[in-house]
Structure 1
């Protein structure tokens, strides 16, 4: 999974993703749990910068980090077009270096689920902790085991449009609560022909209790665990789990 070609059609395929809901979630959690003005945000796994730019447009000082240089290139162009200043860095979120300290750190849109092992998740939590101001907020969301096991596994999704289409097959992964996403993407080129390329994405999640244990081990205090952009606690049919944590 390199995102080299996907980066340039990513926003087209993700145009229904509710980035404004993540922005609202951040604002609500900041108002409730942060004692600072919380203007300095580190957006990890920022991708093409859709949320990063949205945060900057809403008055936050934003730094974006991603593992894909191609995604960051798109994000840079997007920020320039929007007329906002954001800092972008090509780093692995489990081994962050020399970025300074932040009032809020985010890992949204289930990006944490792309880490391949518990050790990488734990390393990311420690790395985030080291880049936070005292009493700063760490906000992230993950797929629930229910979503991975019941809504993804052995399912096929498709999207057809004149410019970009895809077939998306989901298969059980090698670990509990894991899925392999096989995507065949078709892009209309300048000659009016469709070019096909394939992507393999692997995601893995864990039970809420495991996330809680790893967060506590990293030094975080868990302020809230909610589900699906609501204020409600997760249940056995929740699809996306949200964590609000403070640096002790």
Structure 2
């Protein structure tokens, strides 16, 4: 998984802010009312963690990238909030917890190398949840990975940075490669080029169901595109709500 070194500095500029409200609304509909201690996996620059904290939850954020977490810490302090942010890998949650709720949004599960790692994440989450705890995550659908992303191209231009984002089908089933090129302005006015490669992979819904069941989860429900409805053949994003 890429460490998002350069991505951290421009991530918020290219992220659709409206998604955070959608993730928050979906979560609030599916969180039990009496549970408050929440772990946000792949918390990035902390915007979603702040949304959850402001909604009344006791939030801990975890991310692989210290650069992302530095921004998250700064943002939370500016918002007058005290949110612990932990640098760590969701493949090893042994040192933290327990929690009532765990979320993993922005298709972060899709960055796992294979279904063995996905299953390992599910087991780690299960083990750090309290009994009757809830795990919610989203992933790209197979339709999004197979039909939408290949050939996708996105360009962003701002005064202090520019970005080119191109996506290609990868070799493994339901996998894609995102090639990102950044031009970031330095203090002397010159632009420096950075290149990153992000690889994502998804699986059939049945595969996720089996891996969740193997980890011990029950009452798994699947929804699509931030709404409380079943996925269709052209749904872009699947949401899983699982109970310990």
Q: Shorter-normalised TM-score: what interval?
A: over 0.9
Normalised by the length of structure 1, the TM-score is: 0.94
Pick from 188, 196, 208 the counterpart of residue 199 of structure 1.
Answer: 196
Distance in 1, Cα, partners of 2:158 & 2:108? 26
Choose 68-77 or 133-142, whichever is displaced more.
Answer: 68-77
- 1:115 corresponds in structure 2 to 112
Q: How many residue pairs were aligned?
A: 243
2:46 pairs with one of 37, 49, 61: 49
Which string of whole-angstrom CA distances, capped at 9 and with x for unpartnered residues, describes residues 93-116 of structure 1? Answer: 011122121111000110100111
Report the CA distance between 1:11 and its aligned residue.
1.0
CA contact (8 A) 1:140 1:244 kept: yes
Partner of 1:6: 7
- After superposition, the Cα gap between the structure-2 partners of 1:10 and 1:39, relative to the gap in structure 1 and judged at 3 Å, is same
Which residue of structure 2 aligns with residue 134 of structure 1?
Answer: 131
**Counterparts of 2:70 and 2:180, CA distance in 1:** 23
Residues 41 and 63, structure 1, Cα contact 8 Å, conserved in 2:
yes
SS at match of 1:18: helix
Aligned to 2:146: 149
Distance 1:185 1:56 in 2: 32
Aligned residue in 2 for 1:125: 122
- Structure-2 separation of matches of 1:28 and 1:17: 17
SS at match of 1:243: strand
Contact 2:168 2:177 in 1 (8 A): yes
Query: Given the two structures, how large is their TM-score scaled by the length of structure 2?
Result: 0.95
Q: Which deviations, in whole Å up to 9, do the C-alpha atoms of 1:55-94 show, x marking residues without a partner?
A: 1122110011111111111111111111111111111101
Native 8 Å contact 2:220 2:243 kept in 1: yes
Q: Quick one: distance in 2 between partners of 1:103 and 1:172? A: 37
Moved over 6 A (4+): none
**What is the CA distance between 1:194 and its match in structure 2?**
2.5
Q: Do 1:52 and 1:64's aligned partners in 2 also have CA atoms closer than 8 Å?
A: yes
Shift, 1:15, TM fit: 4.3
Structure 1: give runs of 5+ residues left out of the alignment. none
Contact 1:56/1:85 (8 A) holds in 2:
no
Q: Per-residue CA shift, 1:102-159, capped at 9, x if unaligned?
A: 1110001101001111111000000000010111100000000100011101222212
Compute the displacement of 1:185 (Å).
1.3
Q: How far apart, CA to CA, are the structure 2 residues paired with 1:223 and 1:38?
A: 18
- Counterparts of 1:10 and 1:97 in 2: how far apart (Å)? 29
2:168 to 171, 175, 183: 171
Candidates 84, 89, 100, aligned match of 1:87:
84
Partners of 1:15 and 1:192 in 2: how far apart?
A: 27
3-state secondary structure, aligned to 1:65: strand
